[in-house]
Structure 1
Amino acid sequence: MFRSLASARGQLRGMSVWTVGSANTLKVLRLVAPPERREWAAVDWAAVERQVGLRLPADYKELVGVYGAGCFGEYLHLYQPCAAWRELDLVHQVEQGLSSLRFLRDAGALVPYRVEDPADLVPFGRAENGDECYWRRTGVEPDEWTVVVGDARGDRWTEFDGGLAEFVLGVLAASSSIAFNPY
């Protein structure tokens, strides 16, 4: 568990999250939401990427390396490689998410969030309220992907024009740019 939303929001008040710059986003995150442990088990990223069938964004790998298993702001869970619980296991969730999206497409239903290929949405986490978080594969390079959140209680999808680290910082800062609220 990392710092509470209230604690992080207090520290971020008045800071323009979007002017921090992606190179410094992880540094800011470490200041406002320090990891509980200094070391986590090393992840064989090449093996994980083979299992999911794609390269993963660098900020995701760094977040997992720095924070390990846990929850940001008592609200946002990131799927982890080799998680003990399948519901939070990255490989399982990518396989299940892609299978579900392909089922919808093959059944003639609209695939959520206006993607032609279900593989363009890659699940990376979920919120306590059931909202699903995805990378939207907007470019060839994983570090170009944006974040999309699917509302668990409806068909509303919200895109965040930034990477995972900026998204996590935005959630902790309760940015009005992100329609993603734990309450």
Structure 2
Amino acid sequence: MWVQRVIEPTGWEPLGVSVDWAAIEAELGVPLPEDYKQLYETFGGGVLSDSVYFLGRDEAVVFAFLAQWRVALSVDRDSSFAGTSAVDPYAIYAPGGKELVGWGSTAWADEYFWLVDAERSDDHPILARSHDGGAWDRYDMSTSEFLYRVLTDADFLPFGIARYNLGTLFEAGSGGPSGGRPL
């Protein structure tokens, strides 16, 4: 239901991307949310409203979900940063753990993650942090509901962008960055 609600205002024609979910989830060591899989298969990866980046599939690395996760994990585990994580007090998810997996961001550096727990693989609460790097906000809703509210609900503070009248156009990310880089 929520995936369709994200599609409607964008006017996007679903891509029907074929995805080897078993391979992706085997690398992560945990299943991904079902509605995210539908969003991924529908949109690939790209930019909504010229400002909300959605990670999925992309020929370039910019919007590629797994590539972005691998880079974030590598940086988060880099010993030269003396144990400091960019997602403090959390860490980037490593297989078998309980940490964050990024799936989206905005042009002004808001960040969207799932709190993934390998022992509770059917639970994917969203943790989001606004551009000021302040406190994390937790949302117990699906990825598509969160994304829909970001795009269409001006009162969904601090993340709702409808109040800025940016529209709801989706631009596929293949071929490189468009106006900025996610995460």
Q: Normalising by structure 2, report the TM-score.
A: 0.69
1:91 aligns with 2:66: yes
Q: Which has more helix, going by share of residues? A: 1
Corresponding residue number in structure 2 for 1:46? 22
The one-letter code matched in structure 1 to 2:72 is G
The question of whether the paired residues in 2 share the 8 Å contact of 1:52 and 1:94 is answered with no
Corresponding residue number in structure 1 for 2:155? 176
The question of whether the paired residues in 1 share the 8 Å contact of 2:154 and 2:160 is answered with no
2:141 counterpart SS class: coil
Corresponding residue number in structure 2 for 1:122? 101
Find the partner of 1:101 among 70, 76, 84.
76
Matched residue pairs, number? Answer: 156
Deviations 1:16-61 (A, max 9, x none): xxxxxxxx222322333332x3434311111222233332110111
Q: Percent identity?
A: 23
The one-letter code matched in structure 2 to 1:87 is V
2:120 counterpart SS class: coil
> What RMSD in Å do the two structures reach over aligned CA positions?
2.8
Find the partner of 1:167 among 146, 151, 161.
146
Find the partner of 1:79 among 55, 69, 75.
55
Corresponding residue number in structure 1 for 2:128? 149
1:158 counterpart SS class: strand
Q: 1-side partners of 2:131 and 2:25: how far apart? A: 27
The question of whether the paired residues in 2 share the 8 Å contact of 1:86 and 1:92 is answered with yes
State the Cα distance separating 1:140 from its structure 2 match.
1.2
1:30 aligns with 2:7: yes
The one-letter code matched in structure 1 to 2:120 is V
The one-letter code matched in structure 2 to 1:123 is G
State the Cα distance separating 1:134 from its structure 2 match.
0.8
Corresponding residue number in structure 1 for 2:178? none
Find the partner of 1:66 among 42, 47, 51.
42
Q: Normalising by structure 1, report the TM-score.
A: 0.69
Q: 1-side partners of 2:77 and 2:129: how far apart? A: 16
The one-letter code matched in structure 1 to 2:3 is L
The question of whether the paired residues in 1 share the 8 Å contact of 2:53 and 2:106 is answered with yes
Q: Please, which runs of 5 or more residues in structure 2 have no aligned partner? A: 94-98, 165-183
Corresponding residue number in structure 2 for 1:18? none
The one-letter code matched in structure 1 to 2:7 is R
Q: 1-side partners of 2:29 and 2:92: how far apart? A: 14
State the Cα distance separating 1:166 from its structure 2 match.
0.9
Name the structure, 1 or 2, with higher relative contact order (CA <8 Å, separation 6+).
Answer: 2
2:137 counterpart SS class: strand
1:135 aligns with 2:119: no
